[in-house]
Amino acid sequence: MSAAPIPSAPSVPSVLFVCVHNAGRSQMAAAFLSHLGRGRVQVRSAGSAPADAVNPAVVEALQEVGIDISAETPKVLTVEAVQESDVVITMGCGDACPYFPGKRYLDWQLDDPAGQGVAAVRPIRDRIEHLVRELLTDLDVEEAV
């Protein structure tokens, strides 16, 4: 009598968010996906020309909705990060993002929060949250409650 095959664990989709400075849009998107996906999605973010720190208005705008990214730092975009991701979402990084066949690429047209106050960042934050919720549905990942 042979043993029944062990079902393989479902694969966890991986998403990379890319913007120029990795200080605003991509940080917000990664934070929302991590928060709403709660371990059901592997999340990365990076920038083609990373800033020294995350935009303070972005940190404040996310704190308003209960997400703390104050310990995050901008990261440099690497070829490895793109290769290891199933979905690459760009946000104004232009041609700086390497392209690999077989990857799914999306480009989210979003205003840049650089140099903006928290009042200007809130609508960008809310649009990103909406797009992340759509992405979770598209990836067939149930949102954490």
State how far the Cα of 126 lies from the Cα of 68, in Å rounded to an integer. Answer: 16
97 part of the active site: yes
Asked if 9 contacts 108 with a C-beta cutoff of 8 angstroms, the reply is no
Distance CA 64, CA 70 (A): 13
**Beta pairing, strands 14-19 & 87-90:** parallel
Catalytic residue among 18, 31, 93, 121: 93
* Catalytic residue from among 58, 97, 128, 139: 97
Task: Give catalytic status of residue 93 as yes or no.
Answer: yes
Query: Which of these is catalytic: 15, 16, 18, 19?
Result: 19
**Is 7 among the catalytic positions?**
no
**Residues carrying an active site annotation:** 19, 93, 97
